[in-house]
Amino acid sequence: MAVFLIDTWVPFKNRDEGNERIVKRILQYGAKHPEVSKYVMSLRYFKQSIGGNPPGRRVLITEFKSLSDMDAFFKEIQNEPEWQKISHEWKNVMDQTTVETMIWNDQHRKLWTEK
C-alpha cells in the first residue's frame, strides 16, 4: 500500500515567483540525487485554480511505496546541505498559517484509472 505525503500551503502575497523557483528546485532535486530519489515513486505539484479558502493553495504530493521508504528518504536528506537550503527558502515563501502536511494511504488502487 502506497503512502502519499501531501503538503499544502499558500505563498505569501507577492512571493509567487519565488515559490515557483523553489518548487522547481524541489522537483529537480531527485534527478540530482538518485541515492534518495530511489525512495520516491512519484512527485507531483499542483496549483489551485478555482474555489477553496484560502485561494491560491499549492499542493506537493510525494508518493512512497511504504512508511519505511518515507522514513528512509527523510533520514537521508535531513542533514544534506542542499536540501536544508531548499527547505529553508521554501519556508520563507509560504504563509505558515496555511501550511498543512498529511499522510494518506491509497485505497482500491487496482480500480484506479491511470494511463
Q: Is the pLDDT of residue 100 over 90?
A: yes
**What is the residue extent of each domain of the chain?**
11-106
Q: What is the mean pLDDT of the chain?
A: 94
Rg of the chain on CA atoms, in Å: 15
pLDDT for the residue numbered 1: 83
Which CATH number applies to 11-106? 3.30.70
- pLDDT band at residue 51 using 50, 70 and 90 as cut-offs: confident
User: For residues 12 and 26, what is the distance between their CA atoms, to the nearest angstrom?
Assistant: 18
Average pLDDT over residues 7-34: 94
φ/ψ of 35, rounded to 5, equals -65, -25
pLDDT for the residue numbered 55: 84
Q: Is the pLDDT of residue 114 over 90?
A: no
